[in-house]
């Protein structure tokens, strides 16, 4: 009889009580995890908006700096201002590669041309510079520079030919 009572007590605890308690605790944990995940998603969305706003502000500030540099080159550079006086009347080349060997420059020029850019090899002293675009004013050269940096190479730069 004691064995029977002991087995009945063990089976009652093992089969009925644990499933009832376990089901409720799993459900409440699942609900709390969903609420926590939702809260984290909301925080991440808010942080993403703040980050995007700071990036937009940085972009506006850098554009103001670029505009001021352009105005210095194009408007305020007088003939008596030294080397900057001739920069406003020169050509601007967006350089995507600089090579000492002409064959390497020609090879890179053809690869950039295959990307859809009109290339040109500019010789400066012993350097063969591969240009992916040229312009007569600095503003359009800088606009080309941002597009070329995203498509061809992030190390592109503007050469001012005087």
Q: Which pLDDT tens digit goes with each residue over 54-108?
A: 998 988 888 878 877 777 766 655 444 333 333 334 588 899 999 999 999 999 9
* pLDDT value of position 110: 93
* pLDDT value of position 151: 87
2-31: average pLDDT = 67
- pLDDT(143) > 80: yes
Q: Do both 114 and 52 map to the same domain?
A: no
Closest by alpha carbon to 126, among 100, 161, 106, 160?
100
3-state secondary structure of 73: helix
Q: What pTM does this model have?
A: 0.48
Q: Do both 28 and 60 map to the same domain?
A: yes
Last residue of a domain, one of 34, 60, 89: 89
Q: Do both 63 and 39 map to the same domain?
A: yes
Q: Do both 4 and 78 map to the same domain?
A: yes
Which secondary structure element, helix H or strand E, spans residue 16, and what is its range? none
Q: Do both 132 and 97 map to the same domain?
A: yes
75-to-68, 70, 93, 154 alpha-carbon distances in Å:
10, 8, 20, 29
List the alpha helices (DSSP H) in the chain.
Answer: 2-12, 18-71, 102-114, 138-151
End-to-end CA distance of the chain: 110
Q: Do both 82 and 106 map to the same domain?
A: no
Region class of 95: left (phi > 0), else alpha (psi between -120 and 50), else beta: beta
Q: Do both 28 and 67 map to the same domain?
A: yes
Range(s) of the domain holding residue 115: 90-161
Last residue of a domain, one of 72, 89, 106: 89
Q: Do both 68 and 116 map to the same domain?
A: no
Q: Contact 122/129 with Cβ under 8 angstroms?
A: yes
* pLDDT value of position 15: 66
Higher pLDDT, 74 or 47: 47
Q: Do both 9 and 73 map to the same domain?
A: yes
What proportion of the chain, given as a percentage, has pLDDT over 70? 78
Number of folded domains that form the chain: 2
Q: Do both 81 and 5 map to the same domain?
A: yes
Give the CATH number for residue 135: 3.30.70.1070
Q: Do both 2 and 55 map to the same domain?
A: yes
Q: Contact 93/131 with Cβ under 8 angstroms?
A: yes
Last residue of a domain, one of 47, 63, 89: 89
Q: Do both 58 and 103 map to the same domain?
A: no
């Amino acid at each position: 009889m004691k064995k029977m009572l002991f087995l009945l007590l063990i089976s009652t605890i093992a089969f009925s009580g644990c499933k009832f308690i376990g089901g409720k605790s799993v459900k409440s944990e699942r609900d709390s995890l969903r609420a926590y995940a939702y809260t984290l998603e909301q925080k991440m969305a808010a942080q993403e908006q703040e980050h995007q706003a700071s990036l937009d502000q940085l972009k506006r500030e850098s554009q103001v700096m670029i505009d001021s540099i352009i105005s210095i080159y194009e408007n305020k550079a007088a003939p008596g201002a030294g080397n900057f006086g001739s920069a406003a009347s020169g050509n601007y080349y967006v350089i995507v590669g600089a090579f000492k060997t002409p064959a390497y420059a020609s090879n890179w020029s053809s690869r950039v041309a295959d990307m859809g850019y009109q290339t040109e090899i500019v010789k400066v002293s012993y350097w063969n510079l591969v240009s992916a675009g040229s312009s007569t004013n600095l503003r359009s050269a800088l606009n080309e520079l941002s597009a070329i940096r995203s498509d061809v190479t992030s190390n592109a730069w503007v050469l001012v030919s005087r």
